[in-house]
Chains A and B, each alone.
Chain A
Amino acid sequence: MSVLDHRKSKPARTALGAPVRFAGISKSYGGALAVSGVDLDIAAGEFLTLLGPSGSGKTTTLMMLAGFETPTTGSIFVGERPVTSIPPAQRNIGMVFQSYALFPHMTVFENVAFPLRMRKKSAAEQAAQVKRVLDIVDLGPLGDRYPRQLSGGQQQRVALARAIVFEPPVLLMDEPLSALDKYLRSHLQTEIKRIQRDLGVTVVYVTHDQDEAMTMSDRICVMHQGKIRQVGSPEDLYERPLDAFVAGFLGESNMLDATIASTGDGVAILSLGGDGVPVPARNGVAGATVKVSVRPEHIHVAAAPDGAGAWSAAQVVDTTYVGDHRRYTLRLPDGATLSVKQQIAATPHRHATGETVHLRWPGEAMRVFAHGVSIS
């Protein structure tokens, strides 16, 4: 990490975190590539999420950093230290397992003290450190309990306490909240973020839950079929997806077929359902078939066109009331269906099923993909 980066990032209370670097990492099982050509730089103290569907290689990538898998090619660094061939026990990397992996025959205290015991710390030091982290995760008085006697959320906190008690520079989390209910999950998301910020530890977090990734991460690394598809801030990924997969995986996107009618000066005129729509596009060939993505919340629905801009007619197929917003499924004249979200506060009117409505969305809300890759 350069001096410059230090100045940019928010100073952590303790300089616990270390940068992590994956350089040309691939992993194959037999002939099948599980992870392919992963290059990734993670800054000290950063919260980076590996996001992808199952089989995307995100867990394999994490396991290689933890030392449970050996890369077929490439190197991994923690700070300046190459760790690729170092056994897990000597990597000094904290990890929260998906199933928590708490030792059932040990009390909470013994579980959390375990890494300190393995590091030959004195009993007094163990007691002090365990108390400190149990207070951090808000489990102070439960040291004598066995894991079996704890709720899922409490077990999760014990696992977290055990992973941070030896002050590792990097903390790995493998879908740590997937077994918990929705309320507990969002509560613990906030808490994990707070602890991470307070400790300044670098976190590599694996999840398939895009909401979780968006809420928690400084940066998200989207993986698909063993490859990195895009790395960026949640906002980057949501607003400016580089390919159709990212656009579809992060949040909801309507994918429409269109052809490029004409191009020029960073703008392409798309022929979309018979209308010409100008959209920002870096490059594109006239006549090419493309996919256009539009977020459901960017589509404006009205009973009648108000004259400003181009409007398309559509029919309401289904409506659902979701409290803060209303969800419509609409059918365009060419048969394509669109998903639309309307904030109730802004547009209280409810369009009935079967009704013909008119739609409009700003050209800049569209992302254009040629062969799956963004040309916007």
Chain B
Amino acid sequence: MSAAHFLRRPEWLVVPLIAFLAVFYLIPVILMLARSAGTQTDFAPLLEAVSSDIARTIFWNTLKIAVGTTLATLVLAYPLAFFIATAKPFTASVFLAIVMVPFWTSILIRSYAWMVLLGRQGLINGVLIWLGVIDQPIRLLNTNFAVYIGMIHVLLPFMVLPIFSSLKAIDGRLVAAAENLGANAFATFRHVILPLSMPGIVAGCVLVFVLALGFYVTPALLGGPSDMTISMLIAQEVDLYRWDYAAALAGILLVATLVALFAVSRVVSVDKLLGGVR
């Protein structure tokens, strides 16, 4: 096949990737799902997972953390992305670098760093005692709060970058037009900037939510016993050699994630956000 052939039929170019994913991802996933049906194919592990109160509690807990993290990240990331998108080029690149640097640091190291900061003898307690705000160290580490802090920290770039790029893509003349047509700053934001950055918001939320659903290291290191997430439960079951049950839990997580994504795609049509047919 000539190079020209690939240009006319570029779909051939994705064959290596699809082959890789099929062998190393799709087949293992299918094997895992098959495994969750149990050794007698009576779906016993699945039924056990669905009827387990502990599993259900942990699922809800995972969902709560994922939704909470997504919302908190959005609230923190949007103003930052807006600032970077409107800043002068040098300031923008400095702040983008600040957003990106933790991105390049191992998630494990970052979690340990938070342990140092949040611990009983940690920096935050030390400063608070020194300032006289508190007499005794307060419990920060191994709490729900620490899980949120750690996860927000890890996931912030995934929210900032898509929002930044959709804000950056907004034609400044639209903002000028809105002003010219009588819109004050708030109305310009509400009716022009916010809707046009919606694709970035949706992309950021989906990314953060899906990643948060599968978080393991951060809640394991920073959270308390009640902050167990589904991936921690799966790891625990694997450690106990209950592989079929772990496969059932993983299968439910996969299906739940797909359902959530499908729901989002039905509620917000990105095409419609961007102005109809493209």
Contact = CB atoms under 8 A, between A and B. Distances in A.
B277 A149 contact: yes
Contact of B173 (A94, A97, A114, A145): A97
Contacts of B173: 97, 99, 101
A94 B183 CA distance: 13
B271 to A, nearest CB: 10
Contact of B196 (A66, A104, A147): A104
Contact of B178 (A66, A67, A91, A114): A114
B278 A101 contact: no
Interface string A96-113: 010101111110000000
B179 interface: yes
Nearest to A87: B179
Contact of A104 (B176, B178, B191, B274): B274
Interface string A155-168: 00000001000100
Interface in B175-189: 176-184, 187
A115 B181 contact: yes
Contacts of A99: 171, 173
A148 B174 CA distance: 15
A117 B178 CA distance: 11
A114 B191 contact: yes
Contact of A147 (B191, B195, B275): B275
Give the one of B173, B182, B191 with max A CB within 10 A.
Answer: B182
A148 B276 contact: yes
A231 interface: no
A118 interface: yes
A158 to B, nearest CB: 12
A92 B181 CA distance: 7
B174 A101 contact: yes
B37 interface: no
Contacts of A67: 179-180
Contacts, number: 75
Interface string A324-366: 0000000000000000000000000000000000000000000
Nearest to B273: A105
Contacts of A115: 181-182
B192 interface: yes
Contact of B184 (A89, A106, A114, A166): A89
Contacts of A146: 275-277
Interface residues of A, number: 32
Given A103-B192, A105-B195, A148-B278, A89 B179 contact: yes
A103 B276 CA distance: 12
Nearest to A91: B180
A101 B275 CA distance: 14
A97 B181 CA distance: 12
A99 B187 CA distance: 22
Interface string B247-260: 00000000000000
A115 B178 CA distance: 8
B61 to A, nearest CB: 37
Contact of B275 (A89, A114, A148, A166): A148
Nearest to A147: B275
A95 B275 contact: no
Contacts of A106: 275
Contact of B180 (A88, A145, A147): A88
A301 B265 CA distance: 74
A105 B275 contact: yes
Contacts of A101: 171, 173-174, 176-177
A321 interface: no
Give the one of B180, B181, B187, B274 with max A CB within 10 A.
Answer: B181
B176 A118 contact: no
A145 B276 CA distance: 8
A119 B182 contact: yes
Contacts of A89: 179-184
Nearest to A68: B176
A166 B196 CA distance: 24
Interface string B181-216: 111100100011001100000000000000000000
A145 B173 CA distance: 21
A75 to B, nearest CB: 20
Interface in B136-193: 171, 173-174, 176-184, 187, 191-192
Nearest to B196: A105
Contact of A92 (B174, B176, B182, B196): B182
B276 to A, nearest CB: 4
B174 A103 contact: yes
Contacts of B273: 105
Give the one of B173, B177, B184, B277 with max A CB within 10 A.
Answer: B177
Nearest to B172: A101
A202 to B, nearest CB: 16
A268 B196 CA distance: 66
A216 to B, nearest CB: 22
A27 B191 CA distance: 32
16 contacts: A66-B180, A68-B180, A89-B179, A89-B184, A91-B180, A92-B182, A94-B180, A101-B173, A101-B174, A101-B176, A104-B274, A114-B181, A114-B191, A115-B181, A145-B276, A146-B276
Interface of A: 66-68, 87-95, 97, 99, 101-106, 114-115, 117-119, 145-149, 162, 166
Interface of B: 171, 173-174, 176-184, 187, 191-192, 195-196, 273-278
Given A101-B171, A103-B174, A106-B275, 17 more contacts: A67-B180, A87-B179, A88-B176, A89-B180, A89-B183, A91-B180, A94-B180, A101-B177, A102-B177, A105-B195, A105-B273, A114-B178, A117-B191, A118-B181, A146-B275, A166-B181, A166-B182
Closest 3 CB pairs of A and B: A146-B276, A101-B177, A118-B182
